[in-house]
């Protein structure tokens, strides 16, 4: 019996050891694959960040090109492209934009700057390329006005379908890096722009974690560090020459970092991004605890339960957040969120050109409530909300800010006439709405229309202007719209029926 017990213990010990060995092997395999997945996720996250930065920078530059081309068309219509009218609009553009200098260059290369300085720039490559009808963005050049290194954006000025000059705007080279949005790793990562030959174009000079400097050449600097990835400096150079993206891990005296590069659609430039390996791996530090969790099999049920609770709670929080931001009756944004969204958009860099602010009331809504009941009144508001959300673009802001009061901000409309036409069509749509419970009564609306930036740059300013226009519509008999004009009496206020 005792021998049997010893045998059973022996078998149990062997089974236990075998199980432990099996567990160790499973954990080892598990961590090998987890490590690979972590590395892939980090690389994908960094590459996506750099790609988004590249797209963002290109979008901002394209926006500035479009802004300048609109001004260039005006300049081309003047008798003299460097005349007083043209220079006045350039000075206005300089004051209202992010450019640090603006200039008009005639076809002979004589440049007149916004501050009145005149220089000859006929030898500059950016001028010569723009005179060929191209948008141009120069490599850093030393300004002939103040001696600082700048990059120059140029668009041709046409007259009678012929290039008659060039409109230019310049950034300090550091401004290019400032256009990029915030880093995803608590500002420990940093971007910089280099040419395909590795010469520095732009970088933020206030990054405490950066090691490469504005005077360094990319290839000279990184040829002195150890590349940990299965990649060589020659292969990185080939990527630059062939305009291909890539990424490596480097070790500079124990300081390990990820280096990722992405071709920009601007000249032959490359956008480079560097982040410490330790910082990039921080979100995955919890994986080191997986070995214990893996051994404690019984904890899996608890983990699954916690996961379920977290997911359920997140869904509930998102649902509550949605309810907090929308009007329960109409599905439109509520008053507070409408004001916040409009103010945020009006200060957003993507907010360019004309923004149309439309304010409307349902005519004689009190009579609808009194004559047909509040249930029918609520039905009318729901139908109005559905109609507005279906008739405007998804990115336009549609909100209910009062009982029967709605506002719509039409973003980046091509012209005021287009927004006015939309208001007219909306008046007609109201008349064509059929509410069965109203027994054939026609539904109409009064509207007021204001525009940003002309009538204001905040929700409050646009609201006041649109409200005055709405009041004018009601004075005229309702069932229509009015475009705000400064001639309206500032003391009058619209009434809310």
List, as one string, the DSSP characters of 94-117: HHHSS-SEEEEEETTSEEEETTS-
Length of the chain: 497
Task: Quote the pLDDT of residue 319.
Answer: 60
Q: What is the percent of the chain with per-residue pLDDT over 70, rounded to a whole number?
A: 86
The pLDDT score that the predictor gives to residue 176 is 75
- pTM: predicted TM-score of the whole model, two decimal places: 0.51
- pLDDT in the model for residue 297: 60
Report the DSSP beta bridge partners of residue 159: 162
* pLDDT tens figures, 166-183: 999 888 777 777 777 778
- What's the CA gap between 14 and 9, in Å, rounded? 8
CA distance from start to end of the chain: 99
Q: Return phi, psi of residue 174, to 5°.
A: -70, -20
Nearby residues of 484 by Cβ (< 8 Å), 6 or more positions away: 448, 449, 450, 451, 455, 465, 466, 468, 469
Do 497 and 361 meet the contact criterion of CB atoms below 8 Å apart? yes
pLDDT beneath 70, residues of the chain: 1-10, 12-13, 16, 143-148, 205-208, 288-291, 294-295, 297-323, 489-497
Tens of pLDDT, residues 376-397 = 999 999 999 999 999 999 999 9
The pLDDT assigned to 317 comes to 64
Question: Residue 340: what pLDDT?
Answer: 94
Q: Spell out a b/e string for 203-220, using b for 16 or more CB atoms within 10 Å of the CB, else e.
A: bbeebebbebebebebbe
User: What's the confidence (pLDDT) of residue 144?
Assistant: 54
List CB contacts of 475: < 8 A, sequence separation 6 or more. Answer: none
**pLDDT reported for residue 154:** 93
């Amino acid at each position: 019996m005792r021998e049997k017990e010893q045998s059973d213990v022996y078998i149990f010990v062997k089974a236990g050891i075998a199980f432990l060995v099996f567990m160790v092997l499973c954990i080892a395999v598990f961590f090998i694959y987890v490590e690979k997945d972590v590395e892939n996720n980090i690389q994908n996250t960094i590459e996506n960040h750099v790609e988004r930065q590249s797209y963002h920078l290109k979008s901002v530059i394209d926006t500035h090109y479009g802004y300048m081309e609109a001004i260039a068309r005006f300049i081309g219509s003047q008798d003299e492209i460097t005349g007083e009218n043209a220079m006045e609009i350039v000075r206005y553009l300089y004051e209202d934009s992010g450019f640090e200098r603006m200039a008009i260059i005639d076809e002979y290369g004589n440049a007149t700057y916004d501050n009145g300085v005149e220089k000859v720039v006929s030898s500059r490559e950016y001028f010569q390329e723009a005179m060929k009808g191209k948008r141009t963005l120069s490599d850093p050049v030393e300004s002939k006005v103040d001696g600082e290194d700048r990059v120059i954006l140029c668009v041709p000025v046409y007259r009678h379908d012929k290039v008659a000059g060039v409109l230019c705007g310049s950034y300090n080279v550091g401004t290019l890096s400032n256009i990029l949005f915030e880093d995803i790793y608590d500002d420990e990562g940093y971007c910089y722009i280099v040419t395909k030959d590795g010469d520095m174009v732009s970088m933020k000079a206030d990054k405490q974690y950066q090691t490469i400097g504005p005077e360094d050449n990319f290839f000279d600097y990184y040829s002195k560090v150890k590349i940990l990835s299965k990649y060589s400096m020659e292969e990185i150079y080939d990527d630059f020459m062939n305009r291909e993206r890539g990424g490596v891990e480097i070790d500079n005296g124990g300081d390990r970092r990820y280096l990722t590069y992405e071709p920009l659609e601007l000249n032959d430039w490359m956008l480079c991004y560097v982040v410490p390996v330790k910082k990039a791996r921080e979100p995955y530090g919890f994986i080191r605890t997986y070995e214990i969790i893996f051994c404690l099999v019984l904890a899996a049920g608890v983990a699954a339960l916690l996961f379920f609770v977290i997911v359920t709670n997140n869904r509930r929080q998102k649902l509550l957040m949605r309810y907090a931001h929308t009007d329960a009756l109409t599905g439109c944004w509520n008053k507070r969120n409408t004001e916040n969204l409009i103010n945020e958009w009006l200060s957003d860099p993507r907010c360019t050109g004309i923004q149309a602010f439309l304010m409307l009331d349902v005519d004689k809504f009190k009579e609808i409530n009194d004559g047909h009941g509040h249930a029918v009144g609520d039905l009318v508001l729901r139908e109005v909300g559905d109609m507005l959300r279906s008739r405007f673009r998804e990115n336009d802001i549609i909100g209910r800010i009062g009982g029967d009061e709605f506002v719509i901000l039409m973003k980046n409309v091509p012209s005021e006439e287009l927004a006015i036409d939309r208001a007219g069509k909306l008046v007609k749509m109201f008349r064509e709405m059929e509410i069965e419970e109203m027994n054939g009564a026609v539904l109409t609306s009064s509207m007021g229309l204001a525009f940003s930036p002309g009538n204001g740059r905040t929700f409050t300013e646009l609201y006041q202007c649109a409200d005055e226009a709405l009041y004018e519509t009601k004075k005229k008999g309702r069932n229509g719209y009015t475009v705000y004009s400064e001639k309206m009496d500032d003391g009058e206020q619209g009434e809310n029926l």
